Amino acid sequence: MFSNFMTFAPFILQGLTTTVMVFLYGALLAYSIAIIAGLMRTSQFAIVRTIAAVFVELFRGTSLLVQMFFLYYALPQLIDGISMSLMLAGSLAVGLNYGAYASEVVRSAINSIHIGQTEAAISLNMSRFQRLRLVILPQAFRLMLPGFGNNAIELLKGTSLVYFIGLADLTFNANVLRGSNTAISSQVEIYTYLLVAYFLLALPLIVLARYLEKRASKGVTLS
């Protein structure tokens, strides 16, 4: 076992760039959505809260894989003129799905700020925007960081599903190898390399998430 390292590992790693790109694009979209949707969930206007709630529950309540299939195969058929690449469909689905989950981190962090903070800001004659920007968000952001770190780890693992729509990532290449190497020992070797590859990618995120959790638990404001 593990006698084909020089053959299997380099082939699997050819998909590394794709996996990293989907992760980066997906994370950028996810955290942008999380902040926007999270703020909308705390809006004083019911219609704004409702729109955000529908979005969040739609993407949290449906499968990420089905969302990828819908964006790549169904959406172009429903709307003329839309053409979506594999990379765009995969990144968009990952970003929308994990953005919906991360928006709950934003909402709960904002809601956890003591009402006395808001009352103090009102007594200083601050507008709602000033209260949010100068008082609420700086405190809430520190509370969001551990959740964002954990969400990033989950997002990275979720990128493995893009192989189902044909995107040549790490998982896709591993399955190509499996198809041409049917011996049990070879398949064990292939998926061992795949596990190690994802773990090494996730390791910096794991370390960062733990660090942020410790900082947040101590109540230290990150500079």
Higher pLDDT, 222 or 114: 114
Q: Which pLDDT score is estimated for 85?
A: 93
Tell me the per-residue pLDDT of 94-141, one tens digit each, with 9 for 90 and over.
999 999 999 999 999 999 888 888 888 888 888 888 888 888 888 888
Q: Which pLDDT score is estimated for 214?
A: 81
**Rounded Cα distance, 32 and 123, in Å:** 31
> How much is the average pLDDT of 12-35?
96
65 has pLDDT over 90: yes
Among 136-145, 155-164, 182-191, which range has the highest average pLDDT?
A: 155-164
221 has pLDDT over 60: no
- Looking up tokens 């729509």 gives 165
220 has pLDDT over 80: no
Residue 13: both structure tokens together? 């790693």
Q: Which pLDDT score is estimated for 2?
A: 77
Does residue 23 contact residue 167 with C-beta atoms inside 8 Å?
Answer: no
Instruction: Output the furthest CA–CA distance in the chain (Å, rounded).
Output: 73
Return the CATH architecture of domain 16-169: Orthogonal Bundle (1.10)
Does residue 64 contact residue 158 with C-beta atoms inside 8 Å?
Answer: yes
Banded pLDDT at 219 (limits 50, 70, 90): low
Q: Which pLDDT score is estimated for 12?
A: 94
Does residue 220 contact residue 39 with C-beta atoms inside 8 Å?
Answer: no
223 has pLDDT over 50: no
Phi and psi torsions of 55, nearest 5°: -60, -50
211 has pLDDT over 50: yes
Tell me the per-residue pLDDT of 191-209, one tens digit each, with 9 for 90 and over.
999 999 999 999 999 999 8
Does residue 29 contact residue 158 with C-beta atoms inside 8 Å?
Answer: no
Lowest mean pLDDT of 59-63, 167-171, 202-206, 213-217, name the range. 213-217
Question: What rounded mean pLDDT belongs to the chain?
Answer: 91
**Rounded Cα distance, 170 and 158, in Å:** 12
58 has pLDDT over 50: yes
24 has pLDDT over 70: yes
